[in-house]
Amino acid sequence: MIFEMGDRAEAYKLGGKAFELVKLYEAGFKVPPFLVLTGEDFFEFFGEEREELRSLLSEYKDENREEICAIIRKREFSEDWKEEVISKVSEYFGEDCLLAVRSSAMDEDGEKFSFAGMMESYLNVRQGEEIFTAVKQCYLSCFSERAMRYRKENGLIDENIGMAVILQKMVEADASGVMFTSNPLTNNPDEVLISVVTGLGEALVSGEKNSFDAVYDRFGNRVEADEAMPLSENILQELVRLGLRVEDIDVKKRGRDIEFSVKDGVVYLLQNRLITIVSHIEKNRERTILDNSNIIESYSGVTTPLTFSFAREVYEKIYRQTLGNFFIEKEAVDSIAYDLENMIVFYENKIYYRLNGWYKMTALYPGYNKNKRYMENMMGVKVELKETKGEAKLRLFKIYFYFIKKLINMKRATTAFSNKFEAVTKDYRNNDFEGFDNKSLVKVYKDIEASILNDFTTPIVNDMGAMVFMGKVNEVLKKEKIEDAEGLLGKILSKQGNVESVKQSLALLQLVDEIWENEELAKAFRTKLVEELKPYLSDDTEFSAHLRDYILRFGARVMDELKLESITLKENPDFLFKTLKNYLLMEERPSVYKPHKIDEEELYRQVSFPKRFFLKKLVKITKYFVRNREYLRLYRTYIYDIVRMIFLRIGHNLEEAGIIAHFRDIFFLTKEEVFRIAEGKSPQIPLLREKIKKRKREFEENKDKEIFERMYFYGEVRAENMIPIFSRQETKSLEAGVLKGVAGGGKPVTGRVKYVENPQDADVKGLILMAKRTDPGWTVLFPMARAIIIERGSVLSHSAVIAREMGIPLVVGIRGLTDIIKDGMWVRVDGVKGTVERIDERDEDKG
């Protein structure tokens, strides 16, 4: 049976490729005319040997493949059938029309398996005997070694394996290509990737020609494109529209892999199949977007339910306050209550921003209408503020007035916030709450919550000030076309003195100084084990008093300080002694950092004279807000430490009462669960302990699971509904050995890389410290490092601020850094240009 366009299509007769072509034709797309030699023709070709084929497939062994191919090679098509095909082809296409003869296997281009590139196609086939030679080669390709191995690996071998063949009018294309309606390079379902070659598409598939690539978003906006792209912008735009229309044929709106040709400005579609690696993603389902690009600095790796439940409440409170500062009506804020309660999400024991909530919150801000189409169509955000244009303008004026007033009075507001904080917490700082019963501990928590957490406006406004003024400075520098502006700004912002987060490193280096000057102490720290050094904490000496004072002041500033389960120096001072030992083993005595002026004129000389005075003022204001940001953020650390101590004491109390097995099991309950027990609601102890055991198992299992920066979930937030999204920077290979990140400042240096995953055991003396992320607890390592390179982070992250202050070369936000640069490699780090260059060890003296 020969199928022609317009006949009733049946997938099991046409094979995957032909069946999808029929769907394109029926949906009104331009498809070159085609006929199909169906699966029935294939099985009839085997004649009396059909049963032997069934037998070879039903009890398949690798050696059976060659037997099947031998049958195909020796059999001939019946003359009657050949005459029927030749007659039909001549009538349908005309006598001189060249054909494309294309395989369409029964199991090809399905839901999960595509067989991409495994079946044969032949172009420019002349009518007559050439058709049947090509058809037989298509039949053989159905049982090629590669195709059968693929079937075997995926459990697809059965006795019904068969092949249909498409006979299609050749399009002598000016250009051909492949279009993906979900970008396979980045996995981004909102991007369309178009790869093009001149002439026929066979050169693209075979690799004979390099493709010209273009990426567009779903609105037809160009994201990037090769300069020599042979297709016009109009044709590219049309391709995007066609691709999205093809995607709409599928009720689940899954990503499609579409082959096309362009002739005389007309686009023809030649093939349509699912992108199998993302076939589980149904774009018609509700989408949840999780992202950790910024939050990873605070919550890296796995964390516990208690930390998450507390952090979730903190985020809700802070952003409710932010919306209040924007004079948004309570009714509008309440309309996104669910989103405010779920600004962050707990997935596989990792904390992520839930961007759906952020987009909805953004929808309430002034200026939303400019991005309304993008938000509503791509993010599913439909939030309306019921206000007139006049009311919107009035609200915008009130916001500007409010923030300008707040920023002008920031010094006074900071002092007031600081005084209030000290007054509320003075009895609780460094307090282990021994002797407090659970109800008293809950009351302490609620008092602090009411007094401090419910009014965090000053730190919020200061954060906005830091971002606004930093952005303004960069804007001026870009307009003035200053070379390496970001890095030069980093130099200016560095070493301004009195940055709160640096004081811990200064205090540590003072302890190092004190040990270095005392021969007996120096010998002890160089030779003794950590356990042997601990008695110094309880001695009645000046040095011991300084050690105790250091722990009182900075004991809460540890790695992962915002995780309640983190063990601080107050619980275990081992890290302090390890760090001191590492400093004592350095060849040269480290110098205590002393602030000093740097030559800012290096930057200002490049700025036009009319802008110079304005820029100097702007930089001075930016310095203040960046410095103040670190000062105010320290209070967040203190709050978390007090909360940590409250929950640890509740844990001790519950262990003594026999409710939990160990006091640290408290971290595997949520805040709500803990408070219910603490307030006297008796739990079923066996069930509670089983819940804790289960969560501890999940915590351990999730430690080794891969962490993606951004994930899209279609439907429920579950692994089977997830697709990771990669940035373009992550998908590009290392070019000329140079990686680009955010310049943090500092002169170029060369050195060997030390990749640090666990700072507790890190020794970075004289090396270039490389990490996926850092937090303020890492900064005691910084003075040992020659330079610092970090995969995640921004110019305003703690690490960047502190490294600048110490004058250490730094580059942050380098996507894919730890996949490309390995421990022990030699690199050149330029903190002004924001580059990390991989070099040969023999070039080390050039740094």
pLDDT for 594: 42
* Res 805: pLDDT: 67
Q: Is residue 733 over pLDDT 50?
A: no
- Position with higher pLDDT, 25 vs 794: 25
Task: Tell whether 84 and 117 lie within a shared domain.
Answer: yes
Q: Looking at the structure, tell me whether residues 145 and 203 fall in a common domain.
A: no
- Secondary structure (3-state) at 812: strand
* Residue 285 resides in a domain: no
Alpha helices in 381-456 (DSSP H): 389-408, 410-425, 438-448
| Banded model confidence at residue 375, pLDDT cuts 50, 70, 90 | very low
Output the CA angle 690-695-701, nearest 5 degrees. Answer: 130
Residue 781: is its pLDDT beyond 60? yes
pLDDT at 595: 43
Residue 750 has pLDDT above 90, yes or no: yes
Residue 547 forms part of a structural domain: yes
Last residue of a domain, one of 278, 299, 322: 278
Token reading at 646: 């409250």
Ranges 325-329, 393-397, 653-657: which has the least confidence: 393-397
Can you tell me the distance from the alpha carbon of 393 to that of 658, in angstroms, rounded to the nearest whole number?
61
More confident residue, 204 or 50: 50
**Residue, of 546 and 401, whose pLDDT is higher:** 546
The reply to whether 49 and 193 lie within a common domain is: no
Is the pLDDT assigned to residue 596 strictly greater than 50?
A: no
Please indicate whether residue 366 or residue 267 has the higher confidence score (pLDDT): 267
Quick one: average pLDDT of 681-702? 95
Task: Indicate whether 50 pLDDT > 70.
Answer: yes
pLDDT at residue 756 above 70? yes
Where does the pLDDT of residue 734 fall: very low under 50, low under 70, confident under 90, or very high at 90 and above? very low
Give the residue among 280, 282, 289 at the shortest CA–CA distance from 253. Answer: 282
| Number of separate domains in the chain | 4
Q: Tell me what the mean pLDDT of segment 730-750 comes to.
A: 70
795 pLDDT band, cuts 50/70/90, is: low
Identify whether 386 is part of a domain: no
- Among 25-39, 155-169, 689-703, whose mean pLDDT is lowest? 155-169
The more confidently predicted of residues 174 and 327 is: 174
Domain assignment of residue 309, yes or no: no
* pLDDT the model gives residue 486: 66
CATH code of the domain covering residue 141? 3.30.1490.20
Q: What residue numbers bound the domain in which 214 lies? A: 175-278
**pLDDT of 78 higher than 90:** yes
Whether residues 22 and 149 fall in one domain? yes
Task: Count Cα neighbours of 606 within 13 Å in the Cβ-side half-sphere.
Answer: 15
Per-residue model confidence (pLDDT) at position 843 = 55
* Amino acid in the structure at residue 414: T
Q: Which of 137, 169, 201 represents a domain boundary (last residue)? A: 169
The average pLDDT across 550-554 equals 91
Instruction: For the chain, state the CA radius of gyration.
Output: 33
pLDDT at 366 over 70: no
| Alpha carbons 336 and 353: distance in angstroms, whole number | 16
H helix or E strand, kind and range, residue 124: strand 121-125
115, 220: one domain: no
Residue pLDDT, tens place only, 477-512: 778 777 666 666 666 665 565 566 677 888 888 999
Using DSSP bridges, classify how beta strands 749-755 and 738-740 pair: parallel, antiparallel or unpaired: unpaired
Q: How far apart are CA 420 and CA 432, in angstroms?
A: 22
pLDDT in tens, 86-135: 999 999 999 889 999 999 888 765 555 556 556 788 999 999 999 999 99
Structure tokens at 671: 């805040």
- Helix ranges (DSSP H) in 94-144: 129-141
> Roughly how many angstroms between the first and final C-alpha of the chain, as a whole number?
74
- C-alpha distances (whole Å) from 353 to each of 40, 69, 339, 340 are 55, 56, 11, 11
Segment 785-801 shows an average pLDDT of 78
Domain assignment present for residue 28? The answer is: yes
Q: Tell me the C-alpha to C-alpha distance, in Å, between residue 116 and each of 100, 139, 597.
A: 17, 16, 63
SS3 607: coil
Average pLDDT of the residues in 183-194: 90
Average pLDDT value over all residues in the chain: 85
Q: What is the Cα–Cα distance from 812 to 835, expressed in whole angstroms?
A: 9
Residue 148 and residue 246 share a domain: no
With a cut of 90, say whether residue 633 has pLDDT above it.
no
pLDDT at 379: 45
106 and 67 housed in the same domain:
yes
Two structure tokens written together for 408: 């002008």
Separation CA 66–CA 71 (nearest Å): 9
Residue 780, class by beta-carbon neighbours within 10 Å (0-12 exposed, 13-18 middle, 19+ buried)? buried
| H/E segment holding residue 264 | none
Using an 8 Å Cβ cutoff, are 307 and 561 in contact? Answer: no
Q: Is the pLDDT of residue 175 over 60?
A: yes
Whether 224 has a pLDDT exceeding 50, the answer reads: yes
For β-strands 287-291 and 344-347, DSSP reports them as unpaired
pLDDT at 146 over 80: yes
Residue 569 pLDDT greater than 80, yes or no: yes
Task: List the structure tokens of 68.
Answer: 């099947």
Which residues have C-beta within 8 Å of that of residue 700, sequence separation ≥ 6?
none
- Tell me which of 6-20, 66-80, 483-497 is least confident: 483-497
User: Looking at the structure, do residues 779 and 807 belong to the same domain, yes or no?
Assistant: yes
Q: Is residue 240 domain-resident?
A: yes
pLDDT at residue number 158: 82
Same domain, 764 and 812: yes
Residues 117 and 227 in one domain: no
* Cβ-Cβ contacts under 8 Å for 818 (sequence gap 6 or more): 755, 770, 771, 772, 791
pLDDT value at residue 393: 72
Q: Which residues partner with 258 through β-bridges?
A: 179, 272
Nearest to 122 by CA among 92, 95, 98: 98
CATH number of the domain bearing residue 759: 3.50.30.10
Mean pLDDT in residue range 325-344: 87
Most confident of 139-148, 489-498, 547-556: 547-556
* pLDDT higher than 90, residue 627: no
Q: pLDDT at position 367, please? A: 57
Domain CATH number, residue 208: 3.30.470.20
pLDDT number for residue 98:
94
Percent with pLDDT over 70 in the chain: 87
* pLDDT at residue 320 is higher than 80: yes
The pLDDT value recorded for residue 395 is 66
Domain end, chosen from 113, 141, 169, is at 169
601-606 long-range contacts, CB within 8 A, separation 24+: 602/488, 602/491, 603/477, 603/482, 603/485, 603/488, 603/489, 603/491, 603/492, 606/480, 606/482, 606/483
333, pLDDT greater than 80: yes
Average pLDDT over residues 616-631: 85
Q: Tell me if 130 is assigned to some domain.
A: yes
If you write DSSP's letter for every residue of 199-241 in order, what string do you get?
A: S-THHHHHTSSPPEEEEEETTS-EEEE-TT-SS-HHHHHHHHH
pLDDT at 792 over 60: yes
| pLDDT at res. 809 | 86
pLDDT per position as a tens digit, 652-667:
999 999 999 999 999 9
Q: Decide: helix, strand or coil at residue 592.
A: coil
Same domain, yes or no: 147 and 192? no
Residue 334 belongs to a domain: no
Q: Is there a single domain that holds both residue 760 and residue 836?
A: yes
Map tokens 């499609």 to a residue.
256
Residue 383: pLDDT band with limits 50, 70, 90: very low
What is the arithmetic mean of pLDDT over 47-76?
Answer: 89
